[in-house]
């Protein structure tokens, strides 16, 4: 069987490990072969905050990854610097990959946070992006966790690779 084509219109539910209504446990990948290691399983209780996320296309992912690091130095000098921008990379992944907030998502003052988007152009392509005011309500830890899931969705997974004739 061939690899599955990716689509950027699909959405999946995302539940944060920080949510008190989510418990995470390690289970064997293969009960019969402990050498294959473990994977995380999330147990989702009623009341858990359900975010909607989706994958990003290759053009947007390339832009995000290309902006993740910056190399600097002076001509004729052996002085080289590398700046890694992981938080900015994560924010961009969530900015374009977050497709919906949980019902009744509120701040500590009880005000509902509305899912708001705007159009953004990246390398001449038009994208729908979550507004900064919404991103600002999430916090860096949740953004990092969500960005990891969005980035994984944006790649061909190991499960799909094993279906390839060349794997």
Report whether 48 contacts 86 (CB < 8 A). Answer: no
Report whether 3 contacts 156 (CB < 8 A). Answer: yes
pLDDT above 80 (res 142): yes
73 burial (CB, 10 Å; 0-12 / 13-18 / 19+) is exposed
- pLDDT digit string (tens) for 33-73? 888 888 888 899 999 999 999 999 999 999 998 888 776 77
Q: What mean pLDDT comes out for the span 123-148?
A: 96
Domain boundaries, the chain: 14-49, 51-155
Cross-strand bridge partners of residue 70:
83
Residue 20 three-state SS: coil
- pLDDT digit string (tens) for 101-132? 999 899 999 999 999 999 999 999 999 999 99
* 35 phi and psi angles, rounded to 5 deg: -65, -20
């Amino acid at each position: 069987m061939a690899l599955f084509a990716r689509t950027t219109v699909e959405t999946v539910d995302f539940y944060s490990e920080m949510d008190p209504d989510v418990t995470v446990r390690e289970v064997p990948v293969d009960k019969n072969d402990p050498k294959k290691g473990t994977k995380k399983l999330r147990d989702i209780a009623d009341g858990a905050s359900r975010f909607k996320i989706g994958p990003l296309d290759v053009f947007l992912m390339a832009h995000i990854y290309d902006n993740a690091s910056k190399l600097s130095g002076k001509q004729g000098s052996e002085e080289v610097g590398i700046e890694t921008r992981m938080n900015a990379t994560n924010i961009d992944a969530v900015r374009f990959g977050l497709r919906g907030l949980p019902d009744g998502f509120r701040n500590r003052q009880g005000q509902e946070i509305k899912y708001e988007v705007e159009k953004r152009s990246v390398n001449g392509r038009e994208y729908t992006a979550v507004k900064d005011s919404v991103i600002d309500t999430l916090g860096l830890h949740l953004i990092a966790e969500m960005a990891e899931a969005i980035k994984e969705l944006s790649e061909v997974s190991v499960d799909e690779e094993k279906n390839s004739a060349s794997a």
